[in-house]
């Protein structure tokens, strides 16, 4: 159910058992996979064939259109199944853990360079960046108008980014310094209330404190407020823990082995907070914690997660839900009465306004998306948004397919604006 907030945003509630408490346990699954980040499908050349032994951090694939962008192994492993779609588009590269394997270290020359771009590209850190408009990772030669670092996450059950970088403040500061070299614009650090994460006088880096309710901890909402994305002025966003990972890379030549991930959902016996490798096997993470009966594993939150086998490239949540029984076929007359193609109207309510953080004209934007009015959608700020940013509004409407409508509009705009 939805809980109306006294400040901007909502507090959607979903059932989940409590966690046992204590420090997050390190849980490395025996299998993991290299998967593409959300966005356009990526054509790749595979650099490690099936059966090959690879070190942690070693490149296993590279983009065909931009060979400097590589994808790396998240652990010492033997390469298992390599799945490519039509046109050699990356689907997954499965890795089997090798406990005695090595770690690949980037050379000192890259780590000490003033421009961190070559280091990030060589170490597989580039896919951690996400651009707006349209989503996907940025072009290696692109320069953003601004970079937004998300040190807050208000999605249900999301692990606190502050906890993820606790004790890694120096690495976080080094990562911010590296990001500052990628843009001539500001670097915004968006945080929840608490101890400052940015020292005063830190150049173009600015700390912005937001509210505790969803969607205040989403990058799209913050970008719309701070630096709206335009066709000619893209904006990048990145998670605070990934910024600390870049700082660790600059210092050591290696990316950290794990990230902080929370397991939650009604199909669990107990919640879990773990540190696990990118691309971890969701079955391995949830093993021994699920209730009897069928269940569905989502990579992501209850609002915007998707059924998956592997932890998504940028995800830090696993949601485990009971498997719902499929309803039987309905009578044709009932289907005719209820299955009309006419969309239900978006009724202006306080919940709908709050679902966009109180700062966007939610009803007008939804109407523009539903009508396919691209010009109005651009004027209302659609270029700053991705599917996750409208998931709460879709939930408030009871499932109006807003993420799909948003993607259609963005795809049309991208096609029309393409050179």
* pLDDT given for residue 209 in this prediction: 93
Contact, 263 vs 286, CB < 8 A?
A: yes
pLDDT in tens, 129-164: 999 999 999 999 999 999 999 999 999 999 999 999
* Dihedral sign from CA coordinates of 43, 387, 276, 269: negative
23 shares a domain with 34: no
Q: How many domains does the chain have?
A: 4
Decide if 92 is inside a domain: yes
226 shares a domain with 132: yes
* pLDDT given for residue 410 in this prediction: 97
Residues 360-388, mean pLDDT to the nearest whole number: 95
Least confident interval from 5-14, 17-26, 104-113, 400-409: 5-14
246 shares a domain with 116: yes
Residues 41-66, mean pLDDT to the nearest whole number: 96
Decide if 143 is inside a domain: yes
Instruction: Round the average pLDDT of the chain to a whole number and report it.
Output: 92
285 shares a domain with 225: no
pLDDT in tens, 201-224: 677 899 999 999 999 999 999 999
* pLDDT given for residue 400 in this prediction: 83
Contacts with 361 (C-beta within 8 Å, 6 or more apart), sequence order: 380
Residues 102-116, mean pLDDT to the nearest whole number: 95
* Res 272 pLDDT > 60: yes
More confident residue, 162 or 200: 162
* Domain boundaries, position 84: 30-104
pLDDT in tens, 310-342: 999 999 999 999 998 666 666 555 555 555 444
Domain boundary among 213, 234, 253: 253
Domain boundary among 104, 119, 149: 104
280 shares a domain with 299: yes
CA–chain centroid gap for 358, Å, is 23
307 shares a domain with 226: no
Look up tokens 């879990």; give the residue.
272
* pLDDT given for residue 331 in this prediction: 54
Domain boundary among 224, 253, 282: 253
Residues 86-110, mean pLDDT to the nearest whole number: 95
**What angle (nearest 5°) sits at the alpha carbon of residue 360, between those of residues 359 and 362?**
130
* pLDDT given for residue 352 in this prediction: 84
* Res 343 pLDDT > 80: no
Dist CA 262 CA 274 (whole Å): 6
129 shares a domain with 75: no
CATH of residue 54:
2.40.50.100
303 shares a domain with 314: yes
* Res 6 pLDDT > 50: no
Decide if 333 is inside a domain: no
Decide if 278 is inside a domain: yes
233 shares a domain with 148: yes
Q: Place 347 in a pLDDT band, splitting at 50, 70 and 90.
A: low
139 shares a domain with 82: no
Q: How many CB atoms within 10 Å of residue 21? A: 7
Dist CA 240 CA 261 (whole Å): 14
Dist CA 117 CA 120 (whole Å): 5
Decide if 63 is inside a domain: yes
Decide if 244 is inside a domain: yes
Decide if 44 is inside a domain: yes
pLDDT in tens, 225-252: 999 999 999 999 999 999 999 999 999 9
Percent of the residues in the chain that have a pLDDT greater than 90, as a whole number? 82
CATH of residue 175:
3.40.50
Residues 356-369, mean pLDDT to the nearest whole number: 90
Enclosing H/E stretch for 32: strand 31-34
174 shares a domain with 240: yes
411 shares a domain with 358: yes
Decide if 337 is inside a domain: no
* Res 344 pLDDT > 90: no
* pLDDT given for residue 345 in this prediction: 56
């Amino acid at each position: 159910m939805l809980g109306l907030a006294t400040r901007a945003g909502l507090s959607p509630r979903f059932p989940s058992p409590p966690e046992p408490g204590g420090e997050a346990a390190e849980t490395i699954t025996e299998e993991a996979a290299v998967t593409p980040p959300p966005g356009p499908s990526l054509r790749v050349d595979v650099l490690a064939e099936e059966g090959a032994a690879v070190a942690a951090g070693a490149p296993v694939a590279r983009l065909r259109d931009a060979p400097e962008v590589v994808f790396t192994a998240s652990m010492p492993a033997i390469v298992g199944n390599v799945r490519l779609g039509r046109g050699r588009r990356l689907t997954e590269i499965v890795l089997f853990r090798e406990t005695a394997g090595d770690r690949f270290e980037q050379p000192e020359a890259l780590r000490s360079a003033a421009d961190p771009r070559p280091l990030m590209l060589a170490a597989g850190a580039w896919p951690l960046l996400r651009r707006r408009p349209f989503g996907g990772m940025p072009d290696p030669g692109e320069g953003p108008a601004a970079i937004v670092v998300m040190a807050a996450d208000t999605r249900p059950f999301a692990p606190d980014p502050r906890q993820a970088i606790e004790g890694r403040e120096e690495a976080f500061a080094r990562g911010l310094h590296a990001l500052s070299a990628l843009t001539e614009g500001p670097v915004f650090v968006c945080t929840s209330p608490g101890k400052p994460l940015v020292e005063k006088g830190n150049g173009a880096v600015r700390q912005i404190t937001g509210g505790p309710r969803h969607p205040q901890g989403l990058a799209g909402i913050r970008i719309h407020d701070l630096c709206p994305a335009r066709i000619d002025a893209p904006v990048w966003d990145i998670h605070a823990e990934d910024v600390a990972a870049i700082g660790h890379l600059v210092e050591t030549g290696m990316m950290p082995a794990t990230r902080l991930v929370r397991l939650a959902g009604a199909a669990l016996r107990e919640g879990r907070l773990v540190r696990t490798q990118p691309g971890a096997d969701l079955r391995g993470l949830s093993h021994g914690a699920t209730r009897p009966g069928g269940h569905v594993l989502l990579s992501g939150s209850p609002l915007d997660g998707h059924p998956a086998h592997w932890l998504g490239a940028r995800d830090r949540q696993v949601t485990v839900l009971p498997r719902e029984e499929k309803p039987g076929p309905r009578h044709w007359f009932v289907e005719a009465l209820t299955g009309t193609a006419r969309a239900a109207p978006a009724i202006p309510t306080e919940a709908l306004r709050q679902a966009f953080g109180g700062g966007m004209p939610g009803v007008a934007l939804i109407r523009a998306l539903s009508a396919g009015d691209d010009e109005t959608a651009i004027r209302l700020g659609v270029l700053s948004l991705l599917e996750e940013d409208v998931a709460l509004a879709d939930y408030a409407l009871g499932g109006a397919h807003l993420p799909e409508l948003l993607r259609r509009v963005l795809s049309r705009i991208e096609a029309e604006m393409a050179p």
